[in-house]
A and B are shown apart, each in its own frame.
Chain A
Amino acid sequence: MAYTTVNNITSAEDFVFDLEGNVLSIDPQGNLVSSNQLGQTSLVVPGVVADAAGMSMLPDGTIVVASPATGSLVTITPEGGTTTLLSGIAYPNGVEVHRDGWIAVSEHDAGVVRRVDPKTGEFIILAEGLWNPNGVSFSPDYSTLYVNSFGGGTVHSIALTETGAASDPVLLGELDEDSGTPPPWGNDPWLSSCDGLNSGDSCELIDQAGTCVNWDGSLYCDAPDPFAAACASLSEGDSCTLLTESGTCSDWGWGLMCDNASWWGGEGGGLDGMAVDGCGNVYVTEFGTGKIWRWSADGVGPDLVAEMPSYWIPNMDFGVGVGGWDTERMWVIDRDTDQIFGLDIGVPGRPLAHQ
């Protein structure tokens, strides 16, 4: 698919279009900055968060940012006032504002999605039992919330009612490119290697010794990464062995690891950012591959929309029609370099809460 590139946009995990033609984002120093298509970047509010994941804008122009370093949601008023709206969130990640003004935030490490009141910080759990929930987005009529899974390769839909109730998550689609037979150690050896054990007990993570440690009520084995250890003295492309399984030493951006596509059946896909167009199609970016996938509202897909020249495209949104940010283009931020890609989708995005 054809795309344009806008350079000199601050590298960030997520961004928001304001209604004056600017991209608002959090730069690596934690500053809220404003960038435009002329390559101009200005400081809006310095040092608002230590780090930032998802961000969105409330109807009154207040920005809400997820800060994984402090496990919190932070709001920034147009005047620069900041409030920690809610804390104690185990890796807050995707953030989206409903047209009624409430905030959906995925709690990556707890497997839940919270609905948060933007004034009081009070919350309810919209969905739980999810695997690494990451990107979130609403359907055009805001009756459905979509959430994807980083590492699970899935997209779920959650039906919403006007009373605030939510249905159980329903699988909308799943990446099947990595389907295969799970290896002997299962899909989650970090967790399964502590089955039946207690915190502090010794554990064996495939072929590495460790100790079971408690995290969020679950026990994980803290042994060295066996996939990295299997390639410790090897080179990229060399054959490697884990127990009786054979793989190849590969580097997908985070060092040499023993890998075999068949090991990750149903668990591939570091699904990351998410957007929905005005027709209800759901778009998801994939970490590590630069791919953008699309499912229809009724779950047909995934279709490969584009493969961007980047291995981290953490988020995207449709333009608002001001400042050159065309409404029928989906703008995809590249955290690898300071740029945004504009993909010609041909339909506008769903209306945003602050539009």
Chain B
Amino acid sequence: MSVKPPLVERVKKRIRAPVFAVPLLVRCACLCALSLLGLVACPSDDDDDVPIDLSGPCELDSLAGRFRVERQEQFPVIDGSVANGVVPVTILEELEVVGPCKLLRRNNPFCDPACEPNFTCDFDGSCIPFPENQDVGTVTITGLAELVEMEPVEPGNRYFDTSLSDPLFQPEDEIVLEAAGEALDGFRLEGIGSDVLELAEDATILVEEGEIILVEWPAPTTEVPATIELELTIDQHGNSPVRIQCELEDTGAAELPAEVADALLNAGVSGFPNAVLSRRTVDSTSAGGLCVELVVGSPRSPDVRVGGHTPCDEPDDCPDGLTCDLAINTCI
């Protein structure tokens, strides 16, 4: 027996995510080898400390491309793509802002009749060409354990490399991505390596109505201007696709206001809770009149518990007075 999950409620709105401008002093010292190939201009010795801006993430309604340089839990990952437009359904509606967090909802645009192949539905009910990934030429990434050069993979003009050294980067590594340009003009993005986010095996985020949400992670050992991004979703199965997205200072812990838990729970819960916690830097720039970003970080997935639901695999997992119902992995 299961409670019927709440149904979807969606309206047509778009959000504009804040752009974080993080001034930085980044030593520019690692590009001389590339300069010999004519790919990168080599700074003079006088430019040893070059102030740069990490421009932060793109706004969702202009986010056409993303490259990731990540030390994921199982693998080092580099991938990315740049499209010539934004898929409307990826533009999330900002329902509420609470402290450092935003409550976001995915709204599915509706077109009748349904759009033909190579088209997608916009929020005004019209079918628009589905954004296509573009060839941006050779993409080179320096500052990692090894030089990475990527060509677009057809079909789809996606860039990736699955033969990477591990660890991919170290804290304070200065990472530069350059696209040579082809169908779109070239661009340059920067990032900084940070301590890999190693969560405790039992790291858990508890979401309870009316309660502060405590998020903990190991504080960094190096001074890198990275932030912690938390994405928290309780609702699944398409019934109420709402998520919490928080940008947190990298201090090792954060207390999210109780209003965050209430906002998420009030949006409806119908499925498996999950979260991604990521220590990262984000830079962005213009490409083809839209926005492309570089994320350098280490995402991890802590367990999430919704109030009243205590997961278990054996009797000892449960608090006093409760037993483990193995059929549903829940202390009852």
Q: B-contacting residues of A (Cβ < 8 Å)?
A: 10, 27-29, 31, 33, 41-48, 50, 68-72, 77, 79-88, 90-91, 93, 108-109, 120-123, 150-151, 177-178, 187-188, 190-191, 210, 213-217, 220-222, 224-225, 227-228, 232, 235-236, 250-257, 259, 261, 263-264, 267-270, 286-290, 307-312, 335-337
Contacts and interface: CB of A to CB of B under 8 A. Distances in A.
Interface stretch (B18-26, B38-46, B219-227, B268-276): B268-276
A41 B74 contact: yes
Contacts of B276: 28
Contact of B10 (A27, A178, A215, A290): A215
B156 A82 contact: yes
Interface in B263-291: 265-266, 268-274, 276
Contacts of B72: 29, 31
Closest 6 CB pairs between A and B? A121-B117, A222-B9, A91-B238, A82-B156, A190-B7, A254-B269
Interface string B279-323: 000000000000000000001010000111101010000000000
Given A28-B274, A188-B7, A222-B9, A336 B237 contact: no
A228 B269 contact: yes
Given A28-B274, A109-B8, A236-B308, A252 B2 contact: yes
A216 B110 contact: yes
Nearest to B115: A88
B279 to A, nearest CB: 15
Main secondary structure of the interface of A (DSSP, over half): loop
Contact of A336 (B154, B158, B272): B272
A82 B328 contact: no
A256 B265 CA distance: 10
Given A43-B162, A109-B8, A225-B268, A254 B309 contact: yes
Nearest to B324: A309
Query: Which residue of A79, A86, A122 has the most chain B CB atoms within 10 A of its CB atom?
Result: A86
Contact of A251 (B117, B241, B326, B330): B330
B2 A87 contact: no
Interface of B: 1-11, 68, 70, 72, 74-75, 77-80, 87, 89-90, 106, 108-112, 114-121, 127, 130, 153-156, 158, 160, 162, 209, 234-235, 237-238, 241, 265-266, 268-274, 276, 299, 301, 306-309, 311, 313, 326-330, 332
A227 B270 CA distance: 12
Given A42-B75, A254-B269, A290-B328, 16 more contacts: A29-B70, A47-B80, A69-B89, A72-B120, A81-B158, A86-B117, A210-B9, A225-B6, A228-B265, A254-B235, A255-B308, A264-B4, A289-B1, A308-B327, A309-B327, A336-B311
A254 B117 contact: no
A219 B171 CA distance: 51
30 contacts: A28-B274, A46-B79, A50-B90, A70-B89, A71-B121, A80-B158, A81-B158, A82-B158, A87-B121, A88-B111, A151-B5, A191-B7, A215-B8, A215-B108, A215-B110, A217-B112, A227-B6, A228-B268, A251-B330, A252-B3, A253-B272, A253-B306, A255-B265, A255-B308, A256-B307, A267-B4, A287-B2, A289-B1, A309-B329, A312-B272
Nearest to A199: B11
B234 A254 contact: yes
Choose among B6, B114, B299 the residue with the greatest number of A CB atoms under 10 Å from its CB: B6
Contacts of A290: 327-328
Given A47-B79, A88-B115, A80 B153 contact: yes
A47 B5 contact: no
B274 to A, nearest CB: 7
B110 A217 contact: yes
Contacts of A221: 9
A206 B160 CA distance: 51
B255 to A, nearest CB: 21
A123 B245 CA distance: 36
B324 to A, nearest CB: 10
B8 A83 contact: no
Contacts of A217: 110, 112
A45 B121 CA distance: 27
Determine which residue in B68, B117, B120, B121 has the highest number of CB atoms from chain A within 10 A of its CB, and name it: B117
A250 B309 CA distance: 10
A88 B269 contact: no
Most chain B beta carbons < 10 A, residue from A46, A178, A261: A46
